[in-house]
Structure 1
Amino acid sequence: MWDIIVIVIANAISLFESIFGWVLSAVAFVIDLFFLIPGLGNALKVILGTATAIVWTVVSLPDALAGLFGVRPEKRLRVCTVVLSDELGEPIADLAYVRMMLQAAATAFKHEANVRLMPSAPFQFSNGFAGEAEVTDDWIIVDKTPSTKALLDPATGGQGFVKNFGELGSQFEAKASRCCFYGSWRRIVGYGAPVTVFIVRSLERAYGHAQYEAGWVWVQNQGPRNGWPIGLLTCNLRVIAHEVNHVCGHWWHLNAGSNQENLMEVPATETPPTIEAAVARMRLNTFQILLLRASKHVTYI
């Protein structure tokens, strides 16, 4: 009965938001301009992101308690996936490659935590009794504006954190505001905030990188621009799900020695380029499930 109530209310609100949410997103876009100020704007973004994460996690504690006893109605996790273009304006990744990573994430989150991955777009409805979402090219936005080398090959680790407080962070924030305009009001209030997934050209010593405080992740293109996955015997299709889970509160990694099937194990084990092979190594334990479902990014509406 609770599942039916959640489905009806969530879809009704989705319809209302699809019609009138553009006004809220326009207001949020203006507010977001302050976050584009290098240094000050980045600091404000961190403060707001951290504060909303704490507030909505606390609000979700009763739901997490119910989840501990197996009561886990379907929740939603929105993503806005953006493929960058290189210095000449050519997309740096094939949509088929990105679509496979998103499908692996959608399958794993649904099967493991009853969380439906969905695009941050209008008129998105769900049925909690259905299986995982089927990812299509419509989920993916190709930013045709040429990007600089700093955006295409961003620094990770401590160096990346420092750079994100400067011009680099402001540039990624600008792309998120422009490419992921719909639902931007959620990024301000935090509740149901979409996670922005940037597909970049390369990352140093990493498949992906999460910027928890900003609500976005970087995922590198693992294959050639054309023909992927033809010719690749192994790859890591788990990257989007792994990095999104970081943004949703699982900040740390697990040792691969004893957690080879866990989504958060590092170093990641490459598998044949199939959804089934990837999902087999994307398991979550009970604590990880409750943590994911308590995130501000994972909500009922």
Structure 2
Amino acid sequence: MSDFVFLNLPENYRLADALADGKQSLRWRTTRLNNRIAIGDRVFMWQGRGNTPALRGIHAVAEVVERPRTLQPGEFDGYWQNDNEKAVNDEHTLLRILERAPRGRQLQQALILNSLVLRDKGVFTGAMGVNFSLTKPEADELYRLWRQHVDVQQSAHGSDDTVSPVDNEGKFDETAREVLERTASVLAEKSLADLKVLIAKPGRLRDANAKQVIVAGRPRDPAVVAYAKIRAGHKCEIGGCEMPLFRSTAGKPFVEVHHINPLSQGGADTINNVACVCPSHHREAHHGVDAAVLEGGLRTLRDRD
């Protein structure tokens, strides 16, 4: 388990109001260290000075229940100050509140800066950024101060406010996956050169039938899917694969597009980070004992392109 400090400002998100209202979970914007944030990590929720100095301090301790991802519009709660502060292009991490300070009685900056262990930690002195990692000694010291100086209130979970994490692998967005595949099958009529031009084109400049599709909270480019399948000749790119392929409704052998460096770990949705694989090898690449071997082979294949 890792420990982090997540920062926001009062003019961005009304954290004190959310906690005072009994909010049990919330999604926090994270722009750094996203590849290192994992389910079960502990997070200290730090309110920066901003335009309201009285709110500065640690207001809550939380745990990560879903890794960072981009959000759909309806997933933002009502505690953002305005739409411009929601940072819709950034990833957000779903947190469950474990302990909170009573309103106005958060762990104060002065107490933290009196600690020899924490006084030089940038996040507590105004460093730029929104999320910071803690070493184990730093995390232990911060939690000691939190427990020593705050009349901690435990959160009672199971209320209607609690947000369930998204099932990124399965049920959440099956319809969106179908839309992605249908759109990609239409684009598959284009040449690889034309698809490269389309991939380089920003979404706002694309036709409606070529725009990105949100799947499991992450934007996916149907042009990348189409490119990957044409490049592979609609065959599995795992060396020596002999798995039989059925025909899709588009009349092509059914293969899936696999991200070699997973999107959930910071991988890019680009032609250099994807490969075509049969359904069986796709599952093996995610869950098999030889997953690392398969990934290594696909990386070597892309390096040759």
Q: Normalization by structure 1: what TM-score?
A: 0.29
Q: Which structure is larger by alpha-carbon Rg, 1 or 2?
A: 2
Q: Which has the higher strand share?
A: 2
Q: Considering Cα pairs closer than 8 Å and 6+ residues apart, tell me whether 1 or 2 has the greater RCO.
A: 1
- Between Structure 1 and Structure 2, the one with more helix by share is 1
